[in-house]
Amino acid sequence: GLGFITMSTPPVLADATGTCSAYKPECIGEAQKVLFYTALALIVMGMAGHSTSLNSLMIEHATIKRQTQEEEEVQASQIWSFCFGMFGMVIVYIAIILAITFIKPWSLRLGIPAICTVIATTIFLTSSCSYKCLDKAAIIVQSESLEQQEKNKWRLCRVSEVEETKSMICMIPICLSFLVVGLVSSLGNTFFIEQANHMNQKVGKLTVPIPIFLWFYDQSKSYYASSYSQFARSLSRISNLNRGFVAQIGIAVSMIFAILCSITAAKVEERRLGVVVSHGLVDKPEETVPMTMFWLLPQYLLLGGLDGILENNITRMLANQLPQTMAPYVTIFASGISGVGILASVLSVYVVGKASSKGIKPSWFQYTLNKSRLDKYYWLLAILCVVNLVFFILMAIWYARRDSKSEDREAPEVNVEINNEPFEDDAQS
């Protein structure tokens, strides 16, 4: 994916496609467009596979390592491996960020990560022979009898399976409320970065790289996540609230952060557009707006609080609501819900752009930021987040009443007769 997206830049395939090599719209041919969109799909697939497989592989590898080494040796090796890995990761991350910031051609900006990915993949494959977890593929598992295989397993369902399906269907309304929060979460890597790229990046004579905002975002995310975790433990200990209810409180708090982030972003954008108009930069999109980019810092800190509190509490709430059979997939399911919200931001921009351009009014989204009205879009997100918060609170109250009724009511004995035979929970199809 990174290789294809590097090849989609105009200078790389200029000679092969017969196009110009400048970074201009007319220099981008059909081949570059195909490579670009193919690269996006491959990158998404790679990130999905990485996020779902890495944790399982590390747990499996660590378990086998404990079985082959003494406990003290394992603890020492884990500590040293963790410290060395974290130190190396931080050094490499900072070095790459600083280097890419001062590299102007996009072919090099994208090519360097592509080369690093090739090196990392090569290192991973060279050590694949030592992965003991692959030995399980050679274990012969006794198969079911022919009579069992010939039975239609979809003819009957267990009562527990029916109840689990019903509980998952009941989760759909409350999961829809996370989509609006995902719209706000997507701003940090899209419009916020684009705004900072056209603002004054200097502090005195020092030029500050834009990725500094991502560092502030990560720090804010970690701080708010750990702070709310401590608050949740204290609240559960003092009030004896169950884990799911405390998680719902955390999600409501994260939605308040989304409202504050949207309002802050709208006010800052209104100020930026005022500076653009006062300095006559409306038709000069390449000019730097004489306004420091650190005006964007508060909204990045609020965005970090939003994501830090939301991610942990979505996982806790789903772990409390979903059936036990879904427990190994709770984290993946939570990431999927957040990802759908972020993907929905593309659709929201398209819909809002079409709706705002009805009649003689121009669309809120133009080809340049100076002519766009991102402030109105941010205000719209703030209103949607308020409505979404009210909807979530109502759904949380409904869930609380449903759970309390189910706890007070004793479960009746289930005796479903099919062909004059009782169908119990442990019946087989």
* Spatial separation of the C-alpha atoms in residues 87 and 133, rounded to whole Å: 27
Nearest Cα residue to 117 out of 31, 50, 56, 41:
50
Contacts of 178 (CB under 8 A, 6+ apart): 310, 314, 337, 338, 341
* pLDDT (0 to 100) of residue 377: 93
* Spatial separation of the C-alpha atoms in residues 40 and 343, rounded to whole Å: 13
Lookup: tokens for 158? 């267990």
* pLDDT (0 to 100) of residue 10: 83
* Spatial separation of the C-alpha atoms in residues 144 and 234, rounded to whole Å: 50
* pLDDT (0 to 100) of residue 381: 94
* pLDDT (0 to 100) of residue 367: 83
Nearest Cα residue to 8 out of 20, 105, 16, 28:
28
Q: Which residue has the tokens 């108009």?
A: 277
- Structural domains of the chain sorted by starting position, each given as residue range(s) with its CATH number in brackets: 2-135 (no CATH), 159-407 (1.20.1250.20)
**Helix, strand, coil share of the chain (percent; to 5):** 75, 5, 20
pLDDT means per 10 residues, the chain with 429 residues, are 84 80 79 84 77 66 54 54 64 70 76 82 66 46 48 53 66 80 88 90 86 90 90 81 79 93 95 91 87 93 92 81 71 75 83 85 86 92 93 83 58 41 39
Indicate the pairing of strand 289-292 with strand 199-200.
parallel
For residue 6, the tally of other CB atoms under 10 A from its CB is 21
* pLDDT (0 to 100) of residue 395: 84
